[in-house]
């Protein structure tokens, strides 16, 4: 195979190493000594496969992919074992697995370690998928480490304030004044009628006297 094929294989190995590093993050949050040493190839090793003219043999490519697939399957099984009793980490592991394989592998389907090995041997794991899985794991772990916001305590219901006594007295006085007002008006009206009745006869007597004076005959001289 030529140099262009060598570059593609290098990208495959880089994707596998990136994906296993993302899985490492999950396991290391539980136990720093939970993982074994990475036994798969690394991107810089691929350059040594090429000869002086940039070509390499297909058998070498098959062997490299097989080593990478076995190492990735072993890494996944270690991480799954460590996070088994941590439901929040198992959820992240499932999401990272689906993202890093383009939705092919999952925790609910066939054994994910075997699926990862098969995908690696066929060169089906892409670098952009692996980088997305690594970003997902990093963001989700940061959310778990973030301190929880304290819940605001519910305010106790406050008792209704009673009206001050002074205001109640003011209301009573006002009602008393308004009650007295009609009585005063009635008394004033009664006095006016009485005075009118007293003045009426006087006017009538005056009219009669003047009438008598006018009708009286004149004396002869």
Question: What are the boundaries of each domain within the chain?
Answer: 3-145
Q: Pick the residue with more confidence: 201 or 89?
A: 89
- Four-CA torsion 78, 81, 86, 91, nearest 10 degrees: 70
- Four-CA torsion 37, 39, 44, 47, nearest 10 degrees: 160
Question: Quick check: 221 pLDDT over 60?
Answer: no
Give the DSSP H or E segment for 122: none
In this structure, are residues 34 and 27 in contact, taking their beta carbons and an 8 Å threshold?
yes
CA dihedral over 10, 48, 39, 137, signed as positive or negative: negative
Mean pLDDT, the chain, whole residue set: 77
Short-list 117, 125, 134, CA closest to 73: 117
- How much is the pLDDT for 204? 46
Q: State pLDDT tens for residues 79-122.
A: 999 999 999 999 999 999 999 999 999 999 899 999 999 999 99
Short-list 93, 91, 86, 83, CA closest to 20: 93
């Amino acid at each position: 195979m030529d140099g262009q094929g060598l570059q593609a294989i290098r990208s495959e190995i880089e994707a596998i190493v990136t994906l296993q590093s993302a899985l490492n993050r999950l396991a290391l949050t539980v136990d720093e000594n939970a993982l074994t040493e990475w036994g798969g190839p690394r991107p810089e090793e691929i350059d040594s496969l090429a000869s002086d003219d940039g070509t390499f043999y297909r058998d070498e490519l098959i062997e490299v992919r097989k080593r990478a697939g076995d190492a990735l399957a072993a890494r996944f099984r270690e991480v799954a074992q460590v996070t088994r009793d941590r439901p929040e980490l198992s959820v992240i592991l499932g999401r990272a697995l689906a993202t890093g394989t383009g939705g092919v592998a999952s925790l609910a389907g066939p054994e994910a370690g075997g699926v990862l090995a098969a995908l690696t041997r066929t060169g089906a794991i892409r670098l952009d998928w692996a980088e997305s899985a690594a970003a997902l794991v990093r963001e989700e772990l940061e959310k778990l480490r973030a301190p929880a916001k304290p819940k605001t305590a519910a305010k106790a219901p406050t008792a209704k304030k009673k009206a001050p006594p002074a205001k109640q007295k003011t209301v009573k006085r006002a009602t008393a004044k308004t009650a007295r007002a009609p009585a005063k008006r009635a008394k004033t009206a009664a006095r006016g009628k009485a005075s009118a009745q007293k003045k009426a006869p006087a006017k009538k007597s005056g009219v009669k006297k003047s009438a008598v004076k006018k009708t009286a005959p004149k004396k002869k001289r």
